[in-house]
């Protein structure tokens, strides 16, 4: 009889619990496809005494998660603790050094320490797998590593954070403010009590850096990702976007600009006809452009127990079948050190929202600054307002450089008739 494939799971929260449940529910199917049964041999969780209904079937409970790597006969460790440092990092490093393969959903850990972890796996002959770290149940990492690996990639664009996509969707559909929808998302469990990791773009930046590393053959470079969140997006912006034929999405983008790698996360105006514009609520989506395949589009649930467990168990099954592969497709020594594109060189069109005093000559002053900076205005919107109130002006420009746009924005902000910093949203011609 073929011996079972023995796994240890660190973390029994939503994702860890979902992984246990999926391994039990589909045990026969999983065994049929990887040639051996997957057995949960040990687990670790923060609260050992918490009542759980999970089918753990006598698995050993270990208080110290790092001790899972010491258990004889463990074939792989599943790390779903989270966080770039602390216990999660210590466990993964220890396991890989000892030749025990690791499956993780921890995007922060991979984005910050993926290079050294990949090196440790390579040195010991273990596998480091992290399909669940990006886009939940969407198999985008396997697609980049395997199915699309013959391509030279041009660009990857993704809606990679379900919390932000939910907030932007509800703002548009229900005509509510950012703060109102954020509060609702927290009540529903879609947003954390402290939501900065999501709404400030950090989570999307981690995932963007991981996708860029796989597509462009380099180590993750989280410190070279330009990051903006969605806090400044207003209901007025959502309404103006619709009027102009766009929807606002927080996108993670990795692309080559003049052979330099550009990585950026920020709100974008996306044409309504684009598939990305029609990805709603907590769903994620990834669009990949390759020289041979052209454009490929993936959409699905980007978080939650079931979708994330689906990706984790797929990685477990790969390792159970004997798969040993380089974490970032290439051996660590072969990963490139790319030239990174400066954000100032980005060329795109812009949406600009201004709050100004309702006074003659204001628009002329603004358009005069754009003219002096070599920027051509394409459209102009102004809605009715109450007397004695400031006026919100909305402009869109033709394509220009980020450098020129920021220079113009600083000059506009200094005008005595402008009451707050202009808000810019880049228009992506997807």
Question: Residues of CATH 3.40.50.720 domain(s) within the chain?
Answer: 5-133
- Say which range, 229-238, 275-284, 299-308, 351-360, has the weakest mean pLDDT: 351-360
Q: What is the mean pLDDT of residues 163-179?
A: 96
pLDDT computed for residue 51 by the predictor = 55
Inter-residue contact 98 to 69 (CB < 8 Å): yes
Among candidate residues 166, 148, 167, the one with its CA nearest the CA of residue 156: 148
Percentage of residues of the chain with pLDDT beyond 90: 83
pLDDT computed for residue 188 by the predictor = 85
* pLDDT classification of 258: cutoffs 50, 70, 90: confident
Residue 379 tokens read as 């459209």
pLDDT computed for residue 179 by the predictor = 95
**Average pLDDT along the chain:** 93
Q: What is the mean pLDDT of residues 9-13?
A: 93
Q: In angstroms, rounded to a whole number, what is the distance separating the alpha carbons of residues 166 and 188?
A: 11
Residue 387 tokens read as 């007397």
pLDDT computed for residue 49 by the predictor = 57
pLDDT computed for residue 75 by the predictor = 96
Is residue 2 scored above 90 in pLDDT? no
- Angle at Cα 45 formed by Cα 220 and Cα 109, nearest 5°? 5
pLDDT computed for residue 5 by the predictor = 96
Is residue 293 scored above 70 in pLDDT? yes
Q: In angstroms, rounded to a whole number, what is the distance separating the alpha carbons of residues 10 and 90?
A: 12
Is residue 383 scored above 80 in pLDDT? no
Is residue 47 scored above 80 in pLDDT? no
pLDDT computed for residue 339 by the predictor = 94
Is residue 170 scored above 70 in pLDDT? yes
* pLDDT classification of 410: cutoffs 50, 70, 90: very high
* pLDDT classification of 134: cutoffs 50, 70, 90: very high
Reported for 54-63, long-range contacts at CB under 8 A and 24+ positions apart, including other chains, are: 54/12, 54/17, 54/20, 54/21, 55/20, 55/21, 55/24, 56/20, 57/24, 62/8
pLDDT computed for residue 409 by the predictor = 96
pLDDT computed for residue 256 by the predictor = 93
Is residue 125 scored above 90 in pLDDT? yes
pLDDT computed for residue 1 by the predictor = 57
Regarding the domain with residue range 344-427, which homologous superfamily does it belong to in the CATH classification? Answer: ACT domain (3.30.70.260)
Q: What is the mean pLDDT of residues 210-234?
A: 97
Distance linking the first and last C-alpha atoms of the chain: 54
Q: What is the mean pLDDT of residues 153-182?
A: 96
Query: Which tens digits make up the pLDDT trace of 297-312?
Result: 999 998 889 999 999 9
Q: Name the catalytic one among 94, 107, 207, 249.
A: 207
pLDDT computed for residue 192 by the predictor = 86
- Say which range, 71-80, 101-110, 257-266, 357-366, has the weakest mean pLDDT: 357-366
Q: What is the mean pLDDT of residues 258-266?
A: 95
- State yes or no: is 207 an active-site residue: yes
* pLDDT classification of 386: cutoffs 50, 70, 90: low
Residue whose tokens read 């011609």? 429
Is residue 359 scored above 80 in pLDDT? no
Q: Which CATH architecture has domain 140-301?
A: 2-Layer Sandwich (3.30)
Percentage of residues of the chain with pLDDT beyond 70: 97
Pick the CATH number of 5-133 from 3.40.50.150, 3.40.50.360, 2.130.10.10, 3.40.50.720: 3.40.50.720
């Amino acid at each position: 009889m073929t011996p079972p494939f023995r796994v240890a799971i660190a973390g029994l929260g939503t994702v860890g619990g979902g992984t246990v449940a999926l391994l039990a529910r589909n045990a026969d199917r999983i065994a049929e496809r990887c040639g051996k049964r997957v057995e949960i041999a040990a687990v670790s969780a923060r609260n050992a005494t918490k009542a759980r209904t999970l089918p753990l079937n006598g698995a050993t409970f270990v208080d110290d998660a790092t001790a899972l790597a010491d258990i004889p006969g463990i074939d792989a460790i599943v790390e779903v603790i989270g966080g770039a440092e602390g216990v999660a990092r210590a466990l993964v490093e220890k396991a890989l050094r000892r030749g025990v393969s690791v499956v993780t959903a921890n995007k922060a850990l991979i984005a910050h320490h993926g290079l050294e972890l990949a090196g440790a796996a390579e040195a010991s002959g273990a596998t480091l797998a992290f399909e669940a770290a990006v886009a939940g149940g969407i198999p985008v990492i396997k697609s980049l590593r395997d199915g699309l690996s013959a391509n030279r990639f041009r660009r990857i664009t993704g809606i990679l954070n379900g919390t932000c996509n939910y907030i932007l969707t509800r703002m548009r559909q229900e005509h509510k403010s950012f703060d109102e929808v954020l509060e609702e998302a927290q009540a529903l469990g879609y947003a954390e009590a402290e939501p900065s990791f999501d709404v400030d773009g950090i989570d999307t930046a981690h995932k963007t850096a991981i996708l860029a590393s796989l597509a462009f053959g380099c180590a993750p470079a989280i410190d070279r990702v330009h990051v903006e969140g969605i806090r400044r997006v207003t209901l007025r912006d959502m309404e103006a976007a619709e009027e102009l034929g766009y929807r606002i999405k927080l996108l993670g983008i990795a692309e080559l600009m003049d052979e330099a790698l550009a990585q950026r996360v920020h709100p974008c105006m996306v044409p309504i006809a684009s598939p990305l514009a029609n990805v709603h609520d907590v769903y994620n989506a990834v669009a990949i452009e390759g020289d041979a395949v052209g454009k490929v589009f993936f959409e699905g649930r980007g978080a939650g127990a079931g979708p994330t467990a689906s990706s984790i168990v797929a990685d477990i099954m790969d390792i159970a079948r004997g798969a040993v592969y380089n974490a970032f497709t290439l051996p660590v020594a072969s990963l490139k050190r790319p030239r990174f594109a400066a954000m100032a060189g980005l060329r795109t069109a812009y949406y600009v929202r201004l709050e100004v005093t309702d006074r003659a000559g204001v628009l002329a002053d603004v358009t005069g600054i754009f003219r002096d900076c070599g920027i051509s205005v394409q459209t102009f919107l102004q809605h009715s307002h109450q007397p004695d109130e400031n006026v919100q002006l909305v402009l869109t420009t033709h394509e220009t450089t980020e450098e020129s746009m920021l220079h113009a924005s600083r000059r506009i902000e200094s005008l005595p008739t402008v009451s707050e910093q202009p808000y810019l949203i880049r228009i992506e011609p997807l």
